C-alpha cells in the first residue's frame, strides 16, 4: 500500500518497513524459540483472521509478543501479526480500544500496511489527544503523513514540541512543512510565548521553522499549502 524505504533498524520503525523486510529482520535476530513462536503466531493469524466477531486467537498473541520475543522486537512482531490477520479497520479499532498502550502503538504502526484510505484516522486523532509520547510518535507515521488534514497536522507538530517527542519521528516532515506559512506563524507564536514566560525554546522548533521556508520557485507563485 505504500512505497517502503526500509530504515536501518526495521524493528524500531515498523511502519516504515515492508512486512517482508520486518520478517527477515526478525528471523535474523530472534532466538530459536522466539522465531518458532512467531512462525506459529503468523500461521494462526493467516489461517483464522477473524476480522469481525469474537476475539480471535491472533489477538491473544498480541498480548504475548513482548514476553515471547522481547520488548525490542515486540512492536514489529505485533505489526506482522496484524498484517497476517489482514485486520480491517473494525478489527484494528477493536484492538486499539481494548488493548494496552503497547498494542495501541502496534495498531498505529500497522495502519499504513493495512488501511489504504483515511478510514482509520480516528485512531490517529485519538492517539494525538493523549499525553503518551510513544503513542504520539507512533501516530505521526506514514499514515498520518498521507491523510491527516493540514490543520490537525500542524497542531500535532506543536504537540511534539511541547511534549518532548523528537520531530525526527514525524514521517515526511520536510515535505509537509515546506513552504507552510501557517505552520511558521504558529511556531513563531509558540516561541514568543515560551520566551515571554522565561522558558527555553525547544531546539527542534528552529529545525522545523527552517523547513517552512519557501523555495525561490514557491516565492514566485502560490505555495499551494492548504489551510
Q: Which tens digits make up the pLDDT trace of 71-93?
A: 999 999 999 999 999 999 999 99
pLDDT of res. 83: 98
pLDDT of res. 86: 96
pLDDT of res. 3: 38
The grid coordinates listed for 110 are: 500497522
Is residue 5 very low, low, confident or very high in pLDDT (cuts 50, 70, 90)? very low
Q: Contact 38/47 with Cβ under 8 angstroms?
A: no
Q: Is the pLDDT of residue 112 over 60?
A: yes
Q: Is the pLDDT of residue 217 over 70?
A: no
**For 9-31, what is each residue's pLDDT tens digit?**
778 899 999 999 999 999 999 99
Cα–Cα distance measured from residue 216 to residue 197, given in angstroms and rounded to the nearest whole number: 35
Cα–Cα distance measured from residue 65 to residue 71, given in angstroms and rounded to the nearest whole number: 8
Q: What angle do CA 98, 99, 103 make, to 5 degrees?
A: 150
**For 31-86, what is each residue's pLDDT tens digit?**
999 999 999 999 999 998 765 556 688 999 999 999 999 999 999 999 999 999 99
Is residue 6 very low, low, confident or very high in pLDDT (cuts 50, 70, 90)? very low
Q: Is the pLDDT of residue 95 over 80?
A: yes
| CA atoms within 13 A of residue 14's CA, in its CB half-sphere | 30
Percent of the chain residues topping a pLDDT of 70: 89
Rounded to the nearest integer, the mean pLDDT of the chain is 91
Least confident of 5-9, 130-134, 200-204: 5-9
Amino acid at each position: 500500500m505504500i512505497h517502503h524505504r526500509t530504515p536501518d533498524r526495521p524493528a524500531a520503525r515498523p511502519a516504515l518497513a515492508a512486512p517482508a523486510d520486518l520478517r527477515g529482520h526478525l528471523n535474523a535476530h530472534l532466538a530459536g524459540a522466539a522465531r518458532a513462536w512467531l512462525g506459529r503466531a503468523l500461521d494462526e493469524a493467516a489461517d483464522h483472521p477473524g476480522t469481525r466477531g469474537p476475539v480471535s486467537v491472533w489477538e491473544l498473541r498480541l498480548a504475548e509478543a513482548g514476553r515471547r520475543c522481547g520488548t525490542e522486537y515486540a512492536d514489529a512482531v505485533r505489526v506482522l501479526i496484524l498484517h497476517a490477520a489482514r485486520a480491517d479497520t473494525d478489527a484494528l479499532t477493536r484492538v486499539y480500544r481494548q488493548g494496552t498502550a503497547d498494542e495501541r502503538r502496534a495498531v498505529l504502526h500497522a495502519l499504513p500496511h493495512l488501511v489504504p484510505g483515511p478510514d482509520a484516522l480516528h485512531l490517529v486523532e485519538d492517539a494525538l489527544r493523549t499525553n503518551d509520547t510513544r503513542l504520539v510518535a507512533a501516530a505521526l507515521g506514514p499514515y498520518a503523513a498521507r491523510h491527516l488534514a493540514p490543520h490537525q497536522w500542524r497542531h500535532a507538530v506543536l504537540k511534539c514540541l511541547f511534549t518532548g517527542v523528537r520531530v525526527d519521528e514525524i514521517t515526511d516532515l520536510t515535505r509537509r512543512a515546506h513552504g507552510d506559512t501557517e505552520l511558521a506563524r504558529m511556531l513563531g507564536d509558540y516561541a514568543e510565548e515560551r520566551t515571554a514566560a522565561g522558558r527555553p525554546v525547544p531546539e527542534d522548533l528552529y529545525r522545523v521553522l527552517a523547513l517552512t521556508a519557501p523555495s525561490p520557485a514557491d516565492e514566485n507563485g502560490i505555495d499551494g499549502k492548504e489551510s
